[in-house]
Amino acid sequence: MSAVQTTSPPQDDTRRRSPMAEVFFSLMRSRTFLVGLFIVLFWVACALFGEHFAPYDPLADDIINALAPPSSEHWFGTDQIGRDVFSRVIVGSRDILTVAPLATLLATVAGTALGLLTGYFRGIVDDVVSRILEAFMAIPVVIVALLAIVALGTSKATVIVVIGLSFAPIIARTVRSAVLAERELDYVAAAQLRHESAFHTMFVEILPNVIPPILVETTVRLGYAIFAVATLSFMGFGIQPPSPDWGLSISSNYGMIGGGFWWTVLFDALAIASLVIGVNLVADGVHGALND
Amino acid sequence: MSLSLVTLFLLSIMVFLGGQVLPGNVGRAILGPFADQRAVDALNHTLGVDRPLLTQYATWIWNFIRGDMGTSYIFRSPVAPFVIDALGNSMKLAAVAFVLVVPIGILGGVVAALNLNRPLDRIISLGGLSVTVLPEFVTGIILILIFGVWLRWLPISAAWPKNAGFFTQLYYLILPSLPLFLVLFGYIARMARSGMIEALDSDYTRTAVLKGLPWRTVIWRHVLRNALLPTITVIATQTGYLIGGLVVIETLFRYQGIGSLIFTAARGKDFPMLESGILTIGIVYAVATLIADFLYSVLNPRIRLGSDQ
């Protein structure tokens, strides 16, 4: 244990924490954040209320009108069994917007706990856990997912667990470095002098002070989680038919792409692109606002 | 060095657990739910999956090291030739992507840094960042539509005709390598850019400028050498990503590489093929990391001469 400094000015703590209001106004001034937020909220609205303003039932087939190009009746055309692509794109945000945030939440909770443990205890715990986490980080998510899905079968829960656990080490690394800086401060020494338990010191004293980096990392990870969920759906793992999920729709329609049926895949691809970029713009804005 | 070995070990455990232990009864998984129990038992015995786990793991690893990757459940023939063929194909695809992206990415980053905060920098940085965050199959689909379906410049499948020469193969590989290019471009350009900014701002650059060296010499002799070191590390760490990307791209373009081999094996529950494929790319990744470490130390005199650490 390092030498404890007895003079601990409490203002030091409060001054470092940026007031919520300031962060809020800084976010409202950030154009990237607002554009990103608008895109994300649009898709969230589609996920929640999509079927109310979609012109057709996204699951209703209509073989006679299959593979119709975009027209005034079907804005984005119809797919190979005549389902309305526009309605499917609108409602297709639902599954990805439940699976990806849940995976991110799992990653954040697990990663924060691991980061607090390794950063607080350091020494042998840190060495062992950090080495394992680093080794784990080197394995691509797609590979982990393939293995897990072969072993456990395909389900949304598998996808959430796979992505959550794959991303946890990255969040753990961020939290760990924040905790390493934080634990040298006087309020931690004070808590230790009061014989607070390690658990209390970590989760009640230190955690509130490392929230900003966690928040930034979480928004960034959400973008990657959407990336991963979309990819796994495209590969046929994870979200299953008949869901109008974007990745899934692309995977079932891209085989005919050589026939020129571009509308069956383009709009889904653009939807994924817009959502991923939207989340990343939000992440960028949050990062900027918290690091000012 | 030790880290990549730990990664490999961890990967082998995961592969072993995922491929042999968790699916439960392997014989049942292969023969299906209606097969006779005796047939399942016999198959399990032939495959050796009725022995203790530790023995199975040791035998598996030992055989792998000796080059015996087992027998494919589906093709009923040794796995190794399939894996080696597929790895060769993937290397070709990855090589095309790397040959394109490393110089262009570095150039992009350098140009952005030299035009810091001007429109050109904004375009490169923002464009690079936007394409980097997009899934490969999304950029892949959009590129296929543009270059394969609308313009008809490039073939939409990577499966070239038999006995195709080098240039024909290259022609077929351009489109599949582009999505990988786009993802990597952002990372490499960003690293090169920040390395450049830092180097341009340093004391040695100021000294070089103030002692009257021409700007060109300053950039080539002083700035670039220091700026590009971190970029090398990033390029190496991206091999891991690249492998994940290959699985997607090879599936999208129907290319017979290691990624699609793993994917097909996973779908067909061909465990020896799946395990060997994954372990092989694990080894490729470890080797790539080693090479990067080596290059970095050769190029960085501070590490080479051992004054640091």
Residue A128 in contact with partner chain B when CB distance is under 8 A: no
At residue B28 the predicted structure's pLDDT band, cuts being 50, 70 and 90, is confident
Average pLDDT, rounded, for chain A: 84
**CA torsion through residues B282, B284, B290, B293, sign:** negative
| Other residues' Cβ atoms within 10 Å of the Cβ of residue A269 | 26
How far, in Å, CA of A118 to CA of B139, rounded?
Answer: 38
At residue B304 the predicted structure's pLDDT band, cuts being 50, 70 and 90, is low
Torsion of CA A73, A74, A78, A84, to 10 degrees: -110
A184: three-class secondary structure by DSSP: coil
Q: Find the mean pLDDT for residues B286-307.
A: 73
Q: Which of B138, B156, B175 to mutate to test the interface with A (most CBs of A within 10 A)?
A: B138
Contacts of A138 in chain B (CB under 8 A): 3-4, 7, 240, 285, 289
- For helices B136-143 and A263-290, the axis angle rounded to 10 degrees is 130
pLDDT at A15 > cutoff 80: no
Q: Find the mean pLDDT for residues B132-150.
A: 89
How far, in Å, CA of A32 to CA of A10, rounded?
Answer: 36
Residue B184 in contact with partner chain A when CB distance is under 8 A: no
Mark out the alpha helices in B201-270 (DSSP H runs): 203-210, 215-217, 224-227, 229-252, 258-267
Contacts of A142 in chain B (CB under 8 A): 244, 247-248
Q: Are B53 and B73 in contact (CB under 8 A)?
A: no
Average pLDDT, rounded, for chain B: 82
B157 compared with A292, residue with greater pLDDT? B157
Contacts of A280 in chain B (CB under 8 A): 129-130, 133
Q: What is the pLDDT of residue B2?
A: 61
Q: What is the pLDDT of residue A137?
A: 78
Q: What is the pLDDT of residue A7?
A: 47
- For helices B136-143 and B166-200, the axis angle rounded to 10 degrees is 120
pLDDT at A5 > cutoff 50: no
How far, in Å, CA of B205 to CA of B107, rounded?
Answer: 19
CA neighbor of A281 nearest in space, from A29, A25, A23, A32: A32
Which residue among B19, B241, B243 sits closest to A150, beta carbon to beta carbon? B19
Q: What is the pLDDT of residue A291?
A: 76
Q: Which of B14, B137, B157 to mutate to test the interface with A (most CBs of A within 10 A)?
A: B137
Amino acid making up residue A2: S
pLDDT at A13 > cutoff 50: no
How far, in Å, CA of B4 to CA of A71, rounded?
Answer: 55
Q: Are B13 and B60 in contact (CB under 8 A)?
A: no
pLDDT at B201 > cutoff 60: yes
Contacts of A141 in chain B (CB under 8 A): 244
Q: Are A120 and A206 in contact (CB under 8 A)?
A: yes
Q: Are A125 and B231 in contact (CB under 8 A)?
A: no
**pLDDT tens by residue, A263-272:** 888 999 999 9
Q: What is the pLDDT of residue A2?
A: 45
Q: What is the pLDDT of residue B23?
A: 60
**Cβ-based neighbours of B223, under 8 Å, separated by 6 or more:** B196, B199, B200, B205
Q: Are A228 and A102 in contact (CB under 8 A)?
A: no
Q: In chain A, what are the helix, strand and coil shares in percent, each to the nearest 5?
A: 75, 0, 25
Which residue among B3, B18, B278 sits closest to A135, beta carbon to beta carbon? B3
Tokens of B206: 């100021």
CA neighbor of A213 nearest in space, from A188, A187, A177: A177
Contacts of B7 in chain A (CB under 8 A): 134-136, 138-139
Please state, for a pLDDT cut of 90, what percent of chain A lies above it: 27
Contacts of A245 in chain B (CB under 8 A): none
Q: Find the mean pLDDT for residues B45-57.
A: 76
- Which residues 174-233 in chain A show a CB within 8 A of chain B? 223-224, 227, 230-231
What residue segments make up the domains of chain A, in order of their start? 29-54+73-291
pLDDT at B3 > cutoff 80: no
Residue B174 in contact with partner chain A when CB distance is under 8 A: no
Task: Report CA-CA distances (Å) from A221 to A130, A226, A230.
Answer: 19, 9, 14
CB–CB of A134 and B14 under 8 A? no
**Cβ-based neighbours of A248, under 8 Å, separated by 6 or more:** A233, A234, A239, A240, A241
pLDDT at B1 > cutoff 70: no
**pLDDT tens by residue, A84-142:** 888 888 898 999 999 999 999 999 999 999 999 998 888 888 888 888 887 777 777 78
Q: Are A160 and A106 in contact (CB under 8 A)?
A: yes
A98 compared with B79, residue with greater pLDDT? A98
Angle ∠(B238,B6,B47) on CA atoms, nearest 5: 100
**Cβ-based neighbours of B8, under 8 Å, separated by 6 or more:** B279, B282, B283, B286
CA neighbor of A241 nearest in space, from A29, A59, A52: A59
Tokens 């900003």 found at? A212
How far, in Å, CA of B37 to CA of A47, rounded?
Answer: 47
Query: Which of A90-99, A163-172, B269-278 has the lowest average pLDDT?
Result: B269-278
Q: Are A230 and B135 in contact (CB under 8 A)?
A: yes
pLDDT at B17 > cutoff 90: no
Looking at this predicted complex, what is its ipTM?
A: 0.82
Contacts by B233-238 with C-beta closer than 8 Å and gap 24+? B233/B292, B233/B296, B234/B187, B234/B188, B234/B191, B235/B98, B235/B102, B235/B188, B235/B292, B236/B288, B236/B289, B236/B291, B236/B292, B236/B293, B236/B295, B237/B289, B237/B292, B238/B184, B238/B187, B238/B188
Q: Any idea which fold A29-54+73-291 has?
A: MetI-like fold (1.10.3720)
A78: three-class secondary structure by DSSP: strand
**CA torsion through residues A7, A175, A109, A273, sign:** positive
The torsion region of residue B117 among left (phi > 0), alpha (psi -120 to 50) and beta comes to left
- Please tell me which of A255-264, A272-281, B24-33, B193-202 the model is most confident about, judged by mean pLDDT: A272-281
A186 compared with B5, residue with greater pLDDT? A186
- Please tell me which of A67-81, B178-192, B273-287 the model is most confident about, judged by mean pLDDT: B178-192
Instruction: Reduce the secondary structure of B160-175 to three states and give it as a string.
Output: CCCCCCHHHHHHHHHH
CA neighbor of B24 nearest in space, from B48, B46, B56, B49: B49
At residue B306 the predicted structure's pLDDT band, cuts being 50, 70 and 90, is low
How far, in Å, CA of A146 to CA of B275, rounded?
Answer: 11
At residue A16 the predicted structure's pLDDT band, cuts being 50, 70 and 90, is low
How far, in Å, CA of B121 to CA of B193, rounded?
Answer: 9
pLDDT at A14 > cutoff 70: no
Please state, for a pLDDT cut of 90, what percent of chain B lies above it: 5
**Residue A17 to chain B, least CA–CA distance (Å):** 28
